[in-house]
């Protein structure tokens, strides 16, 4: 394509500023150089625009590329969530372990499959919980990128040395990446090569990570400015284990032969973990389904380094108690959205998660839901200076949705309520996915 590129649609939602009718997004060298309204033909001799590519999507809406702040792409081959609605976490983990052992799927191929599915759903940035065989060297050109949080599991003290070795290898990989300040660099001249990812570390959960490992990786995070992601306050079973040292999760750990009483000598509730994590560089609290008021207050007070990732349809699959979304937002906590995985959700559509929130929290402004799936999620990953909104200088990651021809009072409400199709997904100024519709490229 020629440079610059001019994209026009009936509506443009920059997120960081009010929506534009008859909006035009101008892209040069993969970056956004202008976002403005323009009536009349996209190009004309007197328009002031020179040579370039002109695409008018007509009855469509242009939004920032969606940001999925938490997922496990290794399960992207699953056709349905594991178990049945309301399944307990320990029982679900047992079945998950069996699925990992017995399924013939190739984990690397599952990751690539999940990246492709995400792209087709308008997701351009991902917070991935990565396994040791994450296909760094085999990633497809022009696919979503983001932060790959290497997963660490060490339920007993004996497991800590091996997990620390993995943590140090992740630190070394992160150090080798080309970075600028707090954000990864995706040089325009390297577009077409494997996408760049920033590295994070994921001490998995309170029941699977010994405090000795957690304290060590918190120190690495603070010293090397590496983000952490931890599943926390996820289930009642977790709360029971921490408070009483009993329940289904203890039974699971004993069954697996990894129960270590020393791992639970001090922590009694998620607050104890949040206080430890407060010393880290940046932290994603994944799920947070059962956060209490004082824990929410701590998260709000340290909003400079904490974010909470809400996975709506996964939350519903386990039939957890009501999610404290309104409390979190009212307190000033940065709440991002994630899909979790196909092991607990039907697909990897972040838009479906946003639509779920719109249906189940009808008093929540649509603009807030849009921010949760774009700018808030980008902020959670430490990438909000580079993406998450349509602003001058940011990467041209965007998604185009078809819209009805008739006038509507609240188009964003319609996007979040109706099954409007994705027309195109753009990544750093490159069109990666385009559906064939009568509103297509003109």
pLDDT tens profile 351-363: 999 999 999 999 9
What local confidence, expressed as pLDDT, does residue 208 receive?
97
Q: Which residue has the higher pLDDT, 11 or 420?
A: 11
**Domain co-membership, 58 together with 148:** no
What local confidence, expressed as pLDDT, does residue 45 receive?
41
Mean pLDDT in residue range 244-271: 94
Residue 157 forms part of a structural domain: yes
Which of 33-42, 66-75, 98-107, 252-261 is least confident? 98-107
Residue 212 forms part of a structural domain: yes
CA distances from 266 to 245, 296, 370 (A): 11, 21, 39
pLDDT tens profile 197-223: 899 999 999 999 999 999 999 999 999
**Domain co-membership, 396 together with 371:** no
What local confidence, expressed as pLDDT, does residue 105 receive?
64
Residue 370 forms part of a structural domain: yes
Q: For residues 442 and 56, is the Cβ–Cβ distance under 8 A?
A: yes
**Domain co-membership, 211 together with 107:** yes
Which of 196-200, 245-249, 357-361, 438-442 is least confident? 438-442
**Structural domains in the chain (count):** 2
**Domain co-membership, 326 together with 248:** yes
**Domain co-membership, 194 together with 329:** yes
What local confidence, expressed as pLDDT, does residue 153 receive?
97
What local confidence, expressed as pLDDT, does residue 189 receive?
37
Residue 216 forms part of a structural domain: yes
Residue 193 forms part of a structural domain: yes
**Domain co-membership, 43 together with 71:** no
Give strand pairing partners of 209. 154
Per-residue exposure over 406-428, b if at least 16 CB sit within 10 Å of its own CB, e if not: eeeeebbebbbeeebebbbbbbb
| pLDDT for 382 beyond 90 | yes
Res. 326 pLDDT band, cuts 50 70 90: very high
Per-residue exposure over 255-294, b if at least 16 CB sit within 10 Å of its own CB, e if not: eeebbeeebbeebebbbebbebbeebbbbbbbbbbbbeee
Which of 25-29, 244-248, 427-431 is least confident? 427-431
**Domain co-membership, 166 together with 182:** yes
Mean pLDDT in residue range 366-385: 96
The domain in which residue 33 lies consists of 5-64+389-434
What local confidence, expressed as pLDDT, does residue 162 receive?
95
What local confidence, expressed as pLDDT, does residue 364 receive?
95
Here the CATH number for the domain that contains residue 202 is 3.20.20.140
pLDDT tens profile 41-71: 655 444 555 545 889 999 899 999 999 999 9
Residue 176 forms part of a structural domain: yes
Residue 13 forms part of a structural domain: yes
What local confidence, expressed as pLDDT, does residue 435 receive?
54
| pLDDT for 437 beyond 70 | no
Res. 136 pLDDT band, cuts 50 70 90: confident
- For residue 269, give the nearest of 230, 232, 242 by alpha carbon: 242
Q: For residues 174 and 217, is the Cβ–Cβ distance under 8 A?
A: no
Distance between CA 64 and CA 179 in Å, rounded? 23
What local confidence, expressed as pLDDT, does residue 72 receive?
96
Provide the residue count of the chain: 442
CB atoms closer than 10 angstroms to residue 333: 25
Phi, psi angles (nearest 5°) of residue 88: -75, 155
**Domain co-membership, 192 together with 114:** yes
Q: What are the residue ranges of helices labelled H in 180-235?
A: 211-224
pTM over 0.75: yes
Domain limit, last residue, from 342, 363, 380: 380
Distance between CA 400 and CA 68 in Å, rounded? 17
Residue 442 forms part of a structural domain: no
- Residue 68: how many CA atoms within 13 Å on its side-chain side? 30
**Domain co-membership, 394 together with 292:** no
**Domain co-membership, 188 together with 214:** yes
Q: What three-state secondary structure class fits 416?
A: helix
**Domain co-membership, 83 together with 39:** no
Phi, psi angles (nearest 5°) of residue 143: -125, 165
Here the CATH number for the domain that contains residue 428 is 2.30.40.10
Q: Is the peptide bond before 4 cis (omega within 30 degrees of 0)?
A: yes
What local confidence, expressed as pLDDT, does residue 406 receive?
66
Q: Which residue has the higher pLDDT, 233 or 3?
A: 233
**Domain co-membership, 425 together with 347:** no
């Amino acid at each position: 394509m020629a440079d610059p590129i001019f994209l026009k649609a009936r509506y443009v939602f920059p997120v960081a500023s009010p929506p534009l009718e008859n909006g035009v997004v101008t892209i040069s060298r993969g970056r956004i150089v202008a976002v403005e309204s323009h009536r009349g033909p996209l190009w004309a001799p007197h328009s002031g625009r020179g040579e370039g590519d002109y695409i008018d999507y007509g009855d469509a809406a242009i939004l920032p590329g969606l940001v999925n702040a938490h997922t496990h792409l290794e399960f992207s081959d699953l056709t349905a969530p594991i178990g049945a609605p309301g399944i307990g976490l320990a029982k679900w983990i047992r079945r998950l372990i069996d699925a990992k052992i017995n399924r013939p799927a190739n984990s690397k191929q599952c990751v690539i499959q999940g990246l492709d599915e995400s792209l087709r759903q308008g997701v351009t940035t991902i917070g991935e919980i990565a396994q040791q065989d994450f296909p760094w060297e085999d990633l497809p050109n022009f696919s979503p990128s983001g932060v790959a949080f290497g997963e660490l599991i060490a339920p007993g003290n004996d497991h800590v040395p091996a997990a620390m070795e993995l943590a140090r290898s992740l630190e070394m990989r992160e150090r080798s990446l080309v970075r600028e300040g707090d954000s990864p660099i995706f040089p325009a001249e390297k577009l077409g090569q494997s996408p760049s990812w920033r590295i994070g570390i994921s001490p998995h959960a309170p029941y699977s990570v010994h405090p000795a490992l957690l304290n060590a990786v918190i120190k690495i995070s603070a010293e090397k400015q590496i983000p952490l992601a931890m599943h926390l306050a996820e289930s009642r079973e977790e709360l029971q284990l921490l408070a009483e040292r009993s329940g289904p999760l203890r039974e699971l750990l004993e069954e697996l032969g990894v129960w270590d009483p020393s791992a639970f000598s001090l922590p009694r509730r998620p607050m104890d973990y949040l206080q430890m994590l407060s010393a880290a560089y940046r932290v994603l609290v994944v799920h947070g389904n059962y956060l209490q008021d004082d824990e929410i207050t701590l998260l709000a007070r340290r909003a400079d380094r904490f974010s909470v990732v809400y996975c709506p349809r996964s939350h519903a699959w386990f039939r957890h108690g009501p999610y404290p979304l309104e409390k979190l937002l009212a307190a000033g906590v940065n709440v991002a959205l994630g899909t979790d995985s196909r092991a607990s959700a039907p697909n990897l559509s972040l838009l479906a998660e946003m639509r779920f929130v719109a249906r189940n929290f009808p008093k929540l402004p649509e603009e807030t839901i849009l921010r949760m799936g774009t700018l808030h999620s980008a902020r959670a990953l430490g990438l909000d200076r580079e993406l998450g909104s349509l602003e001058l200088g940011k990467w041209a990651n965007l998604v185009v949705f078809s819209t009805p021809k008739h006038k509507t009072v609240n188009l964003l409400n319609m996007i979040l309520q109706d099954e409007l199709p994705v027309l195109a997904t753009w990544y750093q100024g490159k069109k990666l996915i385009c559906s064939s519709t009568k509103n297509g490229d003109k």
